Each structure stands twice: as C-alpha cells, then as structure tokens.
Structure 1
Amino acid sequence: MALDQTPPLNSLGFAKAPADTRVVVAMSGGVDSSVVAAMLKDEGYDVVGVTLQLYDHGAALAKKGACCAGVDIQDARRVAEEMGFPHYVLDYENVFKDAVIDEFADSYLGGATPVPCIRCNERVKFKDLLETAKDLEADCMATGHYIQRKVGENGPELHAAADGNRDQSYFLFSTTEEQLSYLRFPLGHLPSKDDTRKLAAKYGLEVADKPDSQDICFVPNGDYAAVIRKLRPEAADPGNIVDTEGNVLGSHEGVIHYTIGQRRGLGIGGLADPLYVVKLDPERKEVVVGPKSMLATRKIPVREINWLGDAPLTSQAEWNIAVRVRSTRPPRDAILRPISETEAEVELLTAEEGVSPGQACVFYDPESTRIFGGGWIHRG
C-alpha cells in the first residue's frame, strides 16, 4: 500500500517548507508587526516587509515639524536590516487621504462619529496592500493585529484574540472571506501583550519597549476638531445648543466639537439636571441635548454589512447573536433581523447608551469566540 507523501502543514498552513513559503508582513514600525516579521524570519520563512507611508505630519494634518510617520518607517526598516530580509516603503498618502481621511472629516461634518481605523484596514491595508503582496508572489500576508484566524468545516473563520484586553475584532469586522483566506495573524493566540514584548526582546529588536499608539495615526495629539477644521474650514460654523423642544440653551463653535453621549464641556452650566448630547444636526448647526434616559437605545439600523456566517445572512428571519457597538464595550446579547444581504435591524436585549451613527456594530457568536462580521450604524 502506498504511503501518503503529503508534507505536513507549516505554521502558516501550507504543505511546504517555510523556506519555500513567501510571506509579506505589513510593518507599521510598532512592536507588534516587528515581532511578526522577526518571528517568521526566525522560523525560516521567505519574509518580505512592506510599510505604507500613509500621511505626512509635516503637512496640514498635524503639528508643524512633527514626523511620526517618518520615525515609524525608519523603525520598520531597522528591524528588516537587523533580521536580514528585504523591506519596501510604498507611498500611499493620496490613497489614504481619499479613502480614509476625507471620509473621516465628512462623517464628522454629517454629525456621525467615524472609526477611520476600520476604513484603513478595509480600503488600504487589506485591499491595496494585499494586492501588492500577491504581486510579490507571496503565499500570504501577515499582520500584527490581535485577532485569530481558525480553519473550520467551511473554511477560514475570524475569531477574537486570546487576550480580550488586546482583541481588535471590532476594527476588523469588514475583513471578507476572500481576504481571510490570504491573511495570517500570528499574534492572536498570545495570552498577553507582555508575551509580544518578550519575543521582541528575544529577537533583540530595538522597538521592544516602544510605546503603543493610542490615537488615530493622523491625529497624534487627539485633537480631532483641529484636523477637521484644516480639511473642512466650514466645520467651525457656530450654532446653538438646544433642548429637545428647540429651546436655545447656549451656543457652540461647530458641531465637530461634540459627540453623542457627551456631558462635559457643553458650556450650559447652572441647570438643575445634567444634560447630554443626544443628537447632532449639522444642517441646522444645532447640538441637541437631553436627559441621560434619551441615550438609551435598543433598536439599531445597520448597513454595509459584511457577513461571515456559514449560511447566508438572509437564510434566517432572525439570528441570536452578541453585538459590540463601541470598541471599548463588551458584546451584548441581541437579535439580528436581516432586511437584505447588506442591511439589517439589530435589537439589543438590554438598552445601550450613546449608540452613535458612524460607529460599527460587530456581530459575535454568543457561544464561542467567532466573529460573524458586522456593519455600520446609521440613522433610522
């Protein structure tokens, strides 16, 4: 009887030696992607590092003279030199501005609260960069994201990271089945970020103690309004702060300074009960405030859905799932009612406060770590 001569799968899931497996690593210059590149190189893979230059802090998007993007690129290049693999820098500033930054500004102008990191993954990293990896004849592309890719009965599945405190599934819900078949996330199984830094020290990487990025990359000081004013000067148009009956309580210097659920900094002190931002009306240039009870939401309209379930979204009238409506909140039990392949209504079993148009609504299997995709919250 003939013996099965099929070679075992390597750590990236290919039936060939690591040396015969080319992997493009998306390198941001941070410790996570640097460790991925070093680890795969150490395992013997044919590693190619690619860094995208996405923005220029010396331009109109941030403080004059700052150049964090340049520092990150140099850090990525240094890791490649230390570990001995090729590294390329691709200028994607125009693509990034068109696909991410402009929509970020327009969403704020429209009274929404956008999540540009999701759009960057969707429209730049997992689209154009992934195609570049294929052009380089890579077998797969690896990133430093904290999320897991597992192979189930029907193919690759997306799962939350082992470390719930580092899980980035909220920002990766729009990853398609086709992209998932090509992507790898080597850090998703690690118990904690400390393990990543230990690996960085093991490989002697200078970025081992580099701080994590806390802000949106093109808003390094957290001042969203300043960035939007430079991109859309009309965003600073003044207007009124009104209650739900239309009574004027104060004035503001642009709706971009406010978010749904905000309480502090409204400039309307002296009232008996605390008020919260419950609605932004950019057309009327009004910030609408009301009691906290008005922030409670149970039914959420969702569109632009990316569905990762085994059966089609519309194959059931209802799905019992868990959803996350903010990156900082845990998943909550909900019912998903499809309207079409890309639209649905989500009903939360327990009301959530501060649900805002422009945020993502990410779907989870309540019985496991699997992500069923998600969509974007919009006004009903």
Structure 2
Amino acid sequence: MELNTILFIKRKFREHYRKEPPEPPPCLEEREWGFLMFDPDSGMRRHKAFISVGEMQEYIQAMVPAHVYHSAAYYQHPGAPTMKEKNWEGADLIFDIDADHLPVKTDSFKVMLDTAKQEIIKLVGFLMDDFGFGEGSLHIAFSGGRGYHVHVRDQRVLSLDSAQRREIVDYLSGTGLDLDHIFKKKYVEGDDKRSKILVFPSESQGGWGRLVNRELIRYLQELTGDENPAKRLMEFDRIGKKTAQKIIDSVNDPAQLKLLRMGNFGALSSIPAGFWETALQQVIPHIGVHIDEPVTADIKRLIRAASSLHGKSGMKVVSLTVDELHRFEPLVDAVVFGDNEIKINVTRATTVEMMGEKFEVEEGANVLPEYAAIYLMCKGAAEYMGGVA
C-alpha cells in the first residue's frame, strides 16, 4: 500500500472514530488490547491496557490502527508484558464463523456472507436452545470482514479450559456424534419372535435429536422428489424396489409424514440400519456448525472490538441482537463511508457489490463512490489517486 493511500485511509478512519469510537467491552480495565497498524512492518502491538473508556478512545483516535482487538480473557494485570504476569482470571466463550472455512464454492462476496450469516443463526440457535444461554448472555457481531463472532458472557463459562471449550465445538459441529445416542434400539414382540428396531428422535425432542429428525425428513423428501425416486433409492445398499416404494409412499402421505415428525418411523422400521447411517452422514453437515475451533479453544485470544473498522475492508464491526441478525445486510448496514466520488488506480480487475450496487472494475484508473474505493484500497487492490471535483 502506497504512502498516499495509507494517509488517505487513516484520515477517513480517524474521521469515523471521532464520530463513532469503538464500543468498550464489559470490564474494560481487565482486558488486554492489541492493534495492527497500516504499516505492514510494525507487527502486532499488544499488552496494552486502559483504565477508562476515554483513554481507550483517545488512543485509537490518535494512533488510527488498521485493526482493533481486545482479549476474550479477563486479567488481573492486563498490561503486563508477559502472559504469565497478566494473571488470567477467566475468559468469555467466543466463536468465529469465517466464510473462508465454510463448504461454499463461490467468488461472490455477497454469497459468502449470506452463507456465514446462516451459519451464525444456526450457532445462536444451538447456544440458546441446547445450552440454555439467554439472549442477554450473547454478544453477536459481524466481524467487518468475512464472517461473524459470538461472545458468550456468562459466569458458567469463564473458567472453562481449552479442552472443555473444544468439547463444546465438537458438540456444535457433530464431531464424534454417537449414532446409538441418536437412534435408540428396542425389541418388539412379533408373531413368532422378538425383533430389534430403531427408535427415531422426534421433532419435539431437544438437542441433536430434533435437528436430525428435521434433516432426515428433508433428505427423504429430496430423495423421493427425484425424477426417478425408486431408482435413486435403490442405489443404496440393500434397498430393493419394494422397500424403495415403501419410503416413497410414507414420505408422500401427509398422515405418515406427521408420524415421522413425531419420531414414529414404524412404517419404515424394516429398512436396513445401514441406510439410516448413510443418510445421517449426509445430513450432519447441514445440522452442525462450521466453527473455527482454534479461536474457541484459545483462552487468551484477541477478538475484534465492537464498532471498530476492519482494516482489510473498511467496514464496521457491527453488534447485533438476535432479531437484528436476521434482518442484517452486511454490505449495506456495515458500510460507514459516503458516496463522494474517488479516483483510484486499480491493480487488478474485480467486482464490488456494496450498498445495493454492483461495480465491474477494470484494471487502471477508475472513479468509484468513496465506500467502494476504500474497500478496494483496504483489500490491497487499488491505490488512491485523489478526489473528483
């Protein structure tokens, strides 16, 4: 990034911070702070502590960092120069959903962010429904870049060690999910012998059971909605024509479908267990949450400060309630800069989708609204040339 580009972006960041400084986290004076500057050779500046909101805001307005972070942890001496001297006292439970780590193949930034948003909605559902955290314990934020963060601020999680936090990630992602825990087995008396059948979870069941029921039925509907459903079902091991037709009839019968949602898979109880195990492997990725596990496991992690600006996009880290999350449009709601025209030299052709507009940008000199120009400059894809009269 050229010097005149750095100076322009720092000026715009400073103007923003004077109007809207970053939000302080709870227990500000117990947090370590870290900063990455626009100078690529400066490295991370950490082991910084503040005793007041005013001191924190004045520092950021004066230094104008590219990235602002604070610790998830609480320390007795957060400004101490070594981690040992800080005296760790606990940490929020944090989760990072990053579009780069999601199984989505697209060049569209908007599609990536939409996928990340659906993933964070899934995560919030797990945290509230399965773990019992109230909305007031959850701090949800768009990261300003390619994803979302959730901070769980609850006394019950403060002392969890790294291994315990990894166990939570395993539960949320479905890692090591025990099929015997999902599909219970019981014996029923027949005309001349006892038979072992699988007992399925119901839609009203808590935890993974409810989600497995919903996704299994969705998967069955997908299979039976195929152009030739019997042929597709018969591709499964030990599924013949008669069994395939039984599945099709059950899924297409409203009364049977209602029973399936209640966990009554009696009409399908004779289907080989291998079919259900294969089906479960197909649906788990749709149920589990794709979380950046090292972030959650790190009890001394630095995380982006709310309302700070992301130095690689120029967008804001936006705090959200659960209701706001569902309505949130990052490429509109996290854009803080105006639409005054700016002239930039684009170093590689690209597409920018922001504020409901789509810009096809060619290599070389381009004139763009300020918000789109700053986005490209922060990404390292353009250099500042000046304003347009």
Structures share a fold, TM > 0.5? Answer: no
Higher helix share: 2
Larger Cα Rg: Structure 1 or Structure 2? 2
Q: What's the TM-score bracket when you normalise by the shorter of the two chains?
A: under 0.3
Q: Could you state the TM-score of these two structures normalised by the residue count of structure 2?
A: 0.26
Q: Could you state the TM-score of these two structures normalised by the residue count of structure 1?
A: 0.26
